[in-house]
Structures are given as C-alpha cells and as structure tokens.
Amino acid sequence: MAPNVPPGPSGSRINLVTYKNSTIKALIDPSLPVQDVIRQLCANAHLGVQEPPALFALRDDENDELIDDSNMARKIEGGSNFKLCSSPTIEAVEMVDKLSSRDDRVLKMATYTLQRLIREKPFSDEFIRRGGLKELVSIILSLNSGNTLAYALTSCQNLMESTEQGWEILDGSFIAKVVNILVFQERINVCRPATAILKKLVVSGRSDAPADAASGKVMGKEDPLETNPAEPPADQAANEYQAPIPKVYRFGFEVVYQEIQKEDSFLHTLVNRLGSADTTLCLYSLSLLNSLISNVTDNLFEEFIAEMERLNASKAVARLMDSNRGDELSSSILEYQKNAIWVAHRKLRTAVTPTEKRHVTALSYIWLQARITDAAAAQEPDSDPGDHAGARLKWRRLGFSSESVAREFGKVGWLGLECLESFVRTDPDLYAKMVLEQINRAEERSCPIGRASIEVTEILADHWDIESGYTTSTAFLPFVLFFQKVHHLALRFFVRMWTESGAAASDFPRVSALVRSQVKEALKDENTKTWFEIERDFLDSEYRTARDRQMKELEVEDDYSSKASIRNLRGRLYRESYEFVRQQRIHCLLEGAWFRNPILPKVGGAQRRNTVGSSSDPTTTGNQVPSTKPWRFYRLSPNKKVLHYCEAMERRPIRGGLDDLPEKIDLALVTDISLQGANKGGGAGVAGVGRSDGGFPTSNESAGANGGVGSNLGFSLLRAPDLSLADLVALNQSQFSEWVDGFNMLRGEGGLVSTKETADFIQILTEVGIKIKLLDLTGEQIDIPTSIPPPSLPSTTDFFFADL
C-alpha cells in the first residue's frame, strides 16, 4: 500500500502515481508546471527513482495520454491515475533503435506502439530528428503484408496528419509502394492507412499551400526547409526574397498520378472495390476516388476523367446509391455526385475549337457516321444533282444552323459535343437512319438534329444546375451520373415529338419547351425511380399526353423560370443566399452552445467508434470511454481553426471569449462530419454517415441516459472513420442543422450541405429573392397621378374603329 499523505485543502483531489512496482498517493498542485511536478515525484523516496527528472514524463495510467501543462489540471480534477515513465525524447531514441531491428517480434511491437506515440509532438519531433521516419519508410518498403505493415502504415499516416516535418524523404519509390499495396492487398487494416496516405499526398500540392507559401514570399526570415537559402535578387528589398515551396506542398495530383500510371490495374482495382461486400473497403476506395477527381490538374483533367468513364466509376457509385447497407457511404456518395456536377461544368465551360484534336476527332466521327452519300443528297427535295453546293453545306444537312460547327456549341461546349458523339456511338445505325429520314423531308419540316442535341444538353444542364458547378443537394441524383444516357433518351424524345406534332422550323421553341417539361416530369424525385421508369417516360410517352400536362403546368405557373435571364438571376441569388446562410451558420459556432455528452455504456459484443483518449488502440475497434460529465459547451475560435470547449455537470453561463474553455480541438484534424442515420431530414439519400456502430447509443439508450434527447440529433467530428475527436448531441433540430452545416461550410463556398433544414433555408431565400426582383417596380423618379383625366375629344370625325 502506498504511504499516506497529509490531507489537502477542502475539495482537493488525491491522485495515485505509479513508478514500476511502487505506487503513492499524491496531492498535486494543478497550478504547477508539469516539469516541477515530475521533479517533486522523482524526489519522493517511496518511488525509488534513481535517474534525473529530465529523463521522465507523466502519463495517464489508463490510456497512456501524455500529461502536459494544457491538460494536467483537467486530469487531476477528473481523478485520473498517473504513471511516471520515460520522456518522449528517451522513447524516441528507443523507438528508432527498435525499428532498426531485424527481429519480427520486436518490429511488430514497436510499430504497434508507434501508432499512438507518433501523434505526440515532443515525440515526433525527436523521432524525425533522429532518422526515425527513414527507418519507418524502410519497413514499409520491405514488407508486402501482415500486421507489422498495417501498423507501420498507420504510424506514417498519423505522422503525416499531425506534422509537416520530415516529408522530404517520401519520394517516388514510397508512393509507388503504397500504390502497389492498394492493388494487391485487400485487408482493411492495410488498405485503410494506405488510402489515407495517398489522399494526404494528393491534396498536398502547390495549389493547396497557404497563400504566403504558395507565392514563395517570405518576409524577413529564412526558409525553414532550406539550410542554405539562395541570396535574394538585387532588385528585391533586403528583407524579401523568393523562398521555395515547403516540402509538404511538393506532391499533389500529378506526382501521385505519375506512380498510379505505372501500376496499370490501380484505378481498375479501386473502381472494382466499390462493389465489395466490405462496406469499409468501399468507403475508403470511394473517398480516394473523390480526392483524385477533385484535385486533378488542368493538363491531366481530360485524360483522367476519360479513364474514369471507361472504367464505369459512375455506374459503380450509382449501385451504391441503391444498396441496402445503410447510410455509411452517404457522405462520400454525395461528394462524388458533387464532383460529377463539377466535371460536367468543366466540360460545359470548355469551348469546342477546330484546333483541338479530340474535338476534331469527335466531329469527324459524327459526320462520317451520318453516311450521307451522293445518292442521299440527290434525293433531297429541290436539289440539283449537278450542284456541288451540298458539299459546302455539310453541317447544315445534319441540322446545324451554320457551317461554323465549333461555334454552334458555344453554349454547351465540350459537354454538348461529347453528348452528341456518345449518342452516335451508342447506335450508329439509328443515327444514320434518323439523319436520312430528315434529309428526305422538306427542309421546312425536317428536324434539325444538331440543334436539337445542343438544346437537349442545355435543358439537362439547366435541370441539374450544371452552370453553377456545384450543388448543395442532400438527396441522391443518380441520373446526373449518367448525363449522356439521359441525353440519348431526351434527344430521341425531341425528334419523336417533332414528327408527331408535325412541327416546322418556326416551332423549334415550342418543341423545346415540351421537352423541357418532359425532362422535369421524368426526373422528378429521381432518387426514387429506376432506369426502366426513366426510359418509359421518354420512349413511351405520347405527344398528346405530354402536351396536355404541359398546358396544365402553364396554367399554374408562368414560364419565367425557363428564361435565360431568370435562370441567371436564380443562379446569382442562390450563391448569395448560400453565402448568407453560411455566414449565419458559422456565426452560431462563434457564439457557442451547450451540447449533451453521449453516455456510452459498454455493450457486450457491440462495436463502438473510438474517441481520442480511449483506452483502446486507435487503429482497432473498441468501446468508447463513457463521459463523466453530461454537458459540454463548444465555441469556435475567432480564427475559425480551433474548437474550444469545457465540460460541466450542469449548464451555466459562459463568458465571452475563450478563458472559460480550457480544452480545444484542432479542426485541421477533422476529416469528416458523421451524422446519425436516423436524422435524414425527411429525404431519401440525405447525407448522414450513420452507422450501427457509429459511437452513439440506440434511441432507447439515449433517451434513458440523456433525458430524452434522441440519438438522431447526434453527430461526430471524425479524424478517421473509426476515430472521433468529439461526439455531440444537439438539444433540438435547429441547433443540429446550424452546427452540422456550420462545420461543413467552414471549408468555404461550395461546402456540402448535410441537412434538409439548411438546404430549404437557402432555397426559400433564393425564391423570395427572385419574387422581389420580379416585383421590383419601385417607381423611383416616376410621378404617379392620383387620378387620370379623360382624354380630349377628337378634333375631327375623320376616323374609324379597326376590326382587330
């Protein structure tokens, strides 16, 4: 039994401190620096410490968390037990020595322990300084499978997420090895950290560097990564010079893609894993695909996206939308959907030019597959067989307005040309037949297939708001992933409606309006429809039925929404509304609020997501440590980079500022916001990475533990899919929506909207803004008379009333 200590002041806590086989009761002054506390403990005869205090550190005996000046007072107040152990410097020296061992058992234990230690800055700094990262990379390069490889990859991942130092040794051979691992390994504990490492490298390009680093401007100090910085040019000020980009930002998409291209089956394997029965493997594969798509550089955009389309990545993601494996993948699926709209926007903005080889190839194919022969030309009404003018009017014969065919695609760009080319490739015989049918008609009655294709592309782009380049939809839009296939159906519908209605050239706007109405009807609530239903709506709908429905639509709403000026106004007001709501949501985070701490009872056999500070290893799945206090107050720092909080037994007033909030979370570590599956906002496919093992109790458990607060108001700030930095339970739906989307919108304009409340709020503001603009008849500088005087009588009778 440890010796007793004199009783402390009223309310003081006594903590147990262990060193080797000795334990004492200690009354620790929480105001002392940790080093002073360690010095006093080392001087205690009952512990029997022989070495100098500088060689020791203090850790939480339950979860090995390093004790420092920022958390010691909280640990003492919480009644934690401590242990005196080697300092991070000593641990780093020993760890580097163990990593150089050739004993498999020593390596396995060392890499397992390294996963935890490497997150601690004092340890990681010394570990890197002593060449530990070089030893770690060497282990990764030498292994092809096993737990040791998994532990080594996780250690490397944790290091990359916690520091920007030491990255200079991560060269092409290291990236190639990680790529190779992802191709030939399927064990989730290996693939998970390997995927995270590649993602980190993909997003670490020059464009992601801070503004001062990306520009290379360093004022009055040397580049910390350069031992011998270059002398500043003579024409620059003495205190300013061009500094190299920090090494942490010298990777990016191109560096990673260069190694991916050397492994032919990498992208194929990644897409195939989207169909894996292992949901976690699907999640990581899709997450990496999203990172690659969102970070692709301009010079590789077309090549990479074409490869994704060849591998049918969108088809694989669409299957995930229909899967019955819960909502675990919802956030990543919505992110892919957002990326798909961004890709379509890029194509829409890419002008068709006669100097671009790919564009010329597409146009040549479209012309050749039309199979317009001299015989066909001779059959045209009013044509002169001896007149060779037809050869000079080839694009008009395909239904374009002029022979400047590249200019014809001005509004829809490469997206429109790609859709027409895809339509031809899908069924060349059908295309040739359609062209021949129109050539054999009188010119006034022939359907202009080229113009129709462009018009259909524009209608679909308007429907999915491709022009804006982003979406905040919280519902799945499966058919936006198949833009070209929907274009095929809509174009066939256009030509059929033209024929069935007996349209002439002047009726083009009328048929276009009918097609727009049909697109709106067919794609209404598309997340609930099958492809068979979409095909039926376009291929089997009769003209009279479609026309009657359109007439009813015009009775209840005007056609302003289809005008280009109104669409542009809507897009501008939508962006303004989004920014307004974004600022409001972030303001809620800056104000701060109380949340319930989820009480997490240990359930036999049930898996829970780990929380930072749990006793289990963060790379495995274990039970969360139950919170000791039911309430937390969170507030975002003014620089919007750190979330501060405090715990309490009951709610109390919190002063402004951060003085009352001693604990903090670095938001740079947050990689995802996980929502409870029950909180879907009422729409199918609503974002929410709800999991059966998502770190929250069931509804009954929550109601009993949290005073009736349903688990559907819970969300987590995730560092990794199985590692939570904080679990929060909102007090009501409004608070849930404000904070969840507030965190999402911290990413800047275009941040994903995860709740129906926020999405509806933005939409309502947009609609109100449109109505106000349309009714903006203020009468400024206009005199409105109170009464209208009668006109004067005619001066002559020499007039008559016309029959109109």
For residue 451, give the 3-state DSSP assignment: helix
> Residues 312, 439: one domain?
no
Tell me the per-residue pLDDT of 518-530, one tens digit each, with 9 for 90 and over. Answer: 999 999 989 889 9
Q: pLDDT category, 589, cuts 50, 70, 90?
A: very high
801 compared with 469, residue with greater pLDDT: 469
Contact 608, 695 (CB under 8 A): yes
Q: pLDDT category, 682, cuts 50, 70, 90?
A: very low
Cα–Cα distance, 434 to 648 (Å, whole number): 74
Nearest residue to 30 (alpha-carbon basis) of 91, 82, 95 = 82
795 compared with 389, residue with greater pLDDT: 795
pLDDT at 705 exceeding the cut of 70: no
Instruction: Report which DSSP code applies to 608.
Output: B
Number of domains in the chain: 4
> Residues 520, 660: one domain?
no
> Residues 317, 417: one domain?
no
Other beta carbons within 10 Å of 443: 16
> Residues 265, 369: one domain?
no
pLDDT of residue 750: 54
Ranges 14-23, 258-267, 693-702: which has the least confidence: 693-702
**Phi–psi pair at 219, nearest 5 degrees:** -100, 115
Q: pLDDT category, 723, cuts 50, 70, 90?
A: confident
Cα–Cα distance, 497 to 534 (Å, whole number): 17
> Residues 35, 58: one domain?
yes
Cα–Cα distance, 507 to 517 (Å, whole number): 16
pLDDT at 695 exceeding the cut of 60: no
Tell me the per-residue pLDDT of 7-36, one tens digit each, with 9 for 90 and over. Answer: 444 445 788 999 988 999 989 888 899 999
Ranges 102-111, 146-155, 562-571: which has the least confidence: 562-571
Q: Rounded to whole angstroms, what are the CA distances from 264 to 85, 173, 323?
A: 49, 16, 29
What percent of the chain stands above pLDDT 70? 78
Token digits of residue 523 = 């794609």
Q: pLDDT category, 776, cuts 50, 70, 90?
A: low
Instruction: Report the first-to-last Cα separation within the chain, whole angstroms.
Output: 112
> Residues 498, 599: one domain?
no
CATH code of the domain containing 33: 3.10.20.90
> Residues 520, 589: one domain?
no
Domain membership of residue 702 (yes or no) is: yes
Token digits of residue 46 = 């009952």
Domain membership of residue 677 (yes or no) is: yes
Domain membership of residue 196 (yes or no) is: yes
For residue 186, give the 3-state DSSP assignment: coil
Nearest residue to 412 (alpha-carbon basis) of 482, 351, 485, 343 = 351
pLDDT of residue 457: 96
> Residues 757, 650: one domain?
yes
Ranges 60-64, 535-539, 606-610, 783-787: which has the least confidence: 606-610
HSE of 278, CA atoms in CB hemisphere, 13 A: 13
Domain end point (choices 280, 306, 323): 323
Sheet bearing 82-86, strands edge to edge: 22-26, 15-19, 82-86, 56-60
> What single letter denotes the amino acid at residue 415?
L
**Residue 592 φ/ψ region, left for φ over 0, alpha for ψ in the -120 to 50 degree band, beta for the rest:** left
Tell me the per-residue pLDDT of 612-651, one tens digit each, with 9 for 90 and over. Answer: 543 333 333 333 445 678 899 999 999 888 999 999 989 9
Ranges 184-198, 204-218, 301-315, 784-798: which has the least confidence: 204-218
Q: pLDDT category, 210, cuts 50, 70, 90?
A: low
Averaged pLDDT for residues 225-233: 38
Q: pLDDT category, 748, cuts 50, 70, 90?
A: low
Tell me the per-residue pLDDT of 135-176, one tens digit each, with 9 for 90 and over. Answer: 999 999 999 889 999 999 999 999 998 888 888 888 899 999
Domain membership of residue 122 (yes or no) is: no
pLDDT of residue 791: 76
Q: Which residues of 30-47 are buried (b: 16+ CB within 10 A; e: fewer)?
A: eeeebeebbeebbebeeb
Q: pLDDT category, 347, cuts 50, 70, 90?
A: very high
For residue 231, give the 3-state DSSP assignment: coil
Q: Rounded to whole angstroms, what are the CA distances from 489 to 404, 456, 482?
A: 27, 10, 11
Cα–Cα distance, 188 to 190 (Å, whole number): 5
Averaged pLDDT for residues 230-237: 42
What dihedral do alpha carbons 440, 442, 444, 447 form, nearest 10°? -20
pLDDT of residue 423: 96
Contact 57, 66 (CB under 8 A): yes
> Residues 633, 748: one domain?
yes
The angle subtended at Cα 81 by Cα 76 and Cα 86, nearest 5°, is 105
Ranges 281-295, 465-479, 705-719: which has the least confidence: 705-719
Token digits of residue 246 = 């920090």
Q: pLDDT category, 572, cuts 50, 70, 90?
A: confident
pLDDT of residue 277: 82
State the DSSP H helix or E strand holding residue 182, giving kind and residue range, or none if neither.
helix 172-184
Query: Long-range contact list for 693-700, CB < 8 A, 24+ apart?
Result: 693/606, 693/607, 693/608, 693/609, 693/621, 694/609, 695/598, 695/600, 695/608, 695/609, 695/611, 695/624, 695/724, 695/727, 696/598, 696/600, 696/727, 696/729, 697/598, 697/599, 697/600, 697/601
pLDDT of residue 195: 92
CATH code of the domain containing 274: 1.25.10.10
Residue count of the chain, please give it: 804
pLDDT of residue 325: 58
Domain membership of residue 794 (yes or no) is: no
Contact 178, 255 (CB under 8 A): no
> Residues 602, 555: one domain?
no
pLDDT at 783 exceeding the cut of 50: yes
Nearest residue to 724 (alpha-carbon basis) of 755, 754, 689 = 689
Nearest residue to 597 (alpha-carbon basis) of 554, 650, 546 = 650
Token digits of residue 128 = 């890197």
Domain membership of residue 140 (yes or no) is: no
pLDDT at 696 exceeding the cut of 50: no
Pairing verdict, β 631-636 and 82-86: unpaired
What domain range is 65 assigned to?
A: 15-86
**Residue 718 φ/ψ region, left for φ over 0, alpha for ψ in the -120 to 50 degree band, beta for the rest:** beta
pLDDT of residue 92: 93
> Within 501-626, where are the H helices?
508-522, 531-539, 543-556, 564-591
Q: Residue 728's beta-bridge partner residues?
A: 715
Pairing verdict, β 217-219 and 672-675: unpaired
Q: Rounded to whole angstroms, what are the CA distances from 68 to 30, 52, 74, 341, 579?
A: 11, 18, 11, 47, 40
pLDDT of residue 209: 55
Cα–Cα distance, 385 to 600 (Å, whole number): 86
The angle subtended at Cα 318 by Cα 185 and Cα 359, nearest 5°, is 95
- Write the DSSP string, 712-775: GGEEEEEEETTEEEEEEE-SSHHHHHHHHHHHHHTT-TTPPP--HHHHHHHHHHHHHHHHHHHT
Domain membership of residue 91 (yes or no) is: no
Averaged pLDDT for residues 208-231: 41
For residue 666, give the 3-state DSSP assignment: strand
Domain membership of residue 125 (yes or no) is: no
**Residue 174 φ/ψ region, left for φ over 0, alpha for ψ in the -120 to 50 degree band, beta for the rest:** alpha
pLDDT of residue 279: 84
> What's the chain's average pLDDT?
80
pLDDT of residue 563: 67
Nearest residue to 420 (alpha-carbon basis) of 471, 455, 464 = 455
Tell me the per-residue pLDDT of 59-89, one tens digit each, with 9 for 90 and over. Answer: 999 888 999 998 898 888 888 999 999 999 9
> Residues 366, 515: one domain?
yes
CATH code of the domain containing 728: 2.30.29.30
> Residues 269, 354: one domain?
no
How would you class 447 by CB atoms within 10 Å of its CB: exposed for 0-12, middle for 13-18, buried for 19 or more? buried
pLDDT of residue 448: 94
